[in-house]
């Protein structure tokens, strides 16, 4: 790949480095509000971690590309309604909402 980039004079803006990270906004927990000696103990949000993936990309020319946020979901109910606050502003800045039809929020790039 480096050979082609050099020999074909591919502009630096056309090759991109990307990385992804998980963002947790509701961590599963084993917390409880029961007394220490209670027989029945319910945990709070056990096994209900809520997270999404953020994919960050930068071109070799130094331009930071738009973030890609990946949530689990396969219907239009997975993203904001057009009546949501700031939706129009978001769209005017070039944000796109698309369903990946995947069973997970992991990136498949």
| Within a domain: 37 | no
| Within a domain: 53 | yes
- One pLDDT digit (tens) per residue for the chain, 109 residues: 889 888 988 898 898 999 988 887 765 555 556 666 766 656 555 555 677 888 899 999 999 998 888 877 777 777 788 899 998 998 898 888 877 777 766 666 5
Q: Are 79 and 71 in contact (CB under 8 A)?
A: yes
| Within a domain: 11 | no
Query: Max Cα separation, the chain?
Result: 73
In whole angstroms, give the CA distance from residue 89 to residue 50. Answer: 26
In this prediction, residue 54 carries a pLDDT of: 87
In this prediction, residue 26 carries a pLDDT of: 61
| Within a domain: 47 | yes
In the block, tokens 């050979």 appear at: 3
In this prediction, residue 88 carries a pLDDT of: 92
In this prediction, residue 32 carries a pLDDT of: 59
Q: Please count the structural domains in the chain.
A: 1
In this prediction, residue 43 carries a pLDDT of: 54
| Within a domain: 67 | yes
In whole angstroms, give the CA distance from residue 44 to residue 74. Answer: 27
Classify burial at 104, counting beta carbons within 10 Å of its beta carbon; exposed 0-12, middle 13-18, buried 19 or more.
exposed
Quote the domain boundaries for residue 89: 19-25+42-108
In this prediction, residue 28 carries a pLDDT of: 58
């Amino acid at each position: 790949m480096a050979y082609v980039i050099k020999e074909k004079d591919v502009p630096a803006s056309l090759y991109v480095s990307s990385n992804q990270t998980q963002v947790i906004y509701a961590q599963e927990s084993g917390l409880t509000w029961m007394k220490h000696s209670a027989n029945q103990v319910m945990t709070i949000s056990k096994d209900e971690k809520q997270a999404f993936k953020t994919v960050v990309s930068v071109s070799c020319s130094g331009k930071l590309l738009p973030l890609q946020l990946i949530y689990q979901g396969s219907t239009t109910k997975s993203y904001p309604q057009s009546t949501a606050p700031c939706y129009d502003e978001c769209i005017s800045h070039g944000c796109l909402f698309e369903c990946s039809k995947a069973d997970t929020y992991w990136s498949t790039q």
